[in-house]
Amino acid sequence: QKEVEQDPGPLSVPEGAIVSLNCTYSNSAFQYFMWYRQYSRKGPELLMYTYSSGNKEDGRFTAQVDKSSKYISLFIRDSQPSDSATYLCAMSTTYGNNRLAFGKGNQVVVIP
């Protein structure tokens, strides 16, 4: 079983729709959970990070962590064409001081 599972299937949504992405993981020692956004031909950039279980909101983005189910989610409300990118989940046992375990990423296309 891979440490982090993220269904890599592409996702196409109309502008204004809610985008829902998720990852599951197997290592219960993970404490820090991150979502990265990667535009074409660019490196990943940190979108949000969450410590332990709970929700975190930043504008149109909401990250959720359910450690009991080993499941994390990212929601994008009122999606915009500029949200078209690949979204990668990542997690670690410590923050910034250890290697990251990544999901494979979801390519999201928001259609105007």
Q: Tell me 19's DSSP state.
A: E
Residue 71 or residue 95: which is nearer to another protein going by CB? 95
Residue 68 or residue 97: which is nearer to another protein going by CB? 97
Tokens of 1: 């079983």
Residue 97 CB, nearest approach to another protein (Å): 5
70 contacts 24 by C-beta, under 8 angstroms:
yes
Q: Tell me 18's DSSP state.
A: P
Residue 72 CB, nearest approach to another protein (Å): 16
What is the distance between the alpha carbons of residues 97 and 59, in angstroms, rounded to a whole number?
28
Residue 79 or residue 103: which is nearer to another protein going by CB? 103
Residue 61 CB, nearest approach to another protein (Å): 16
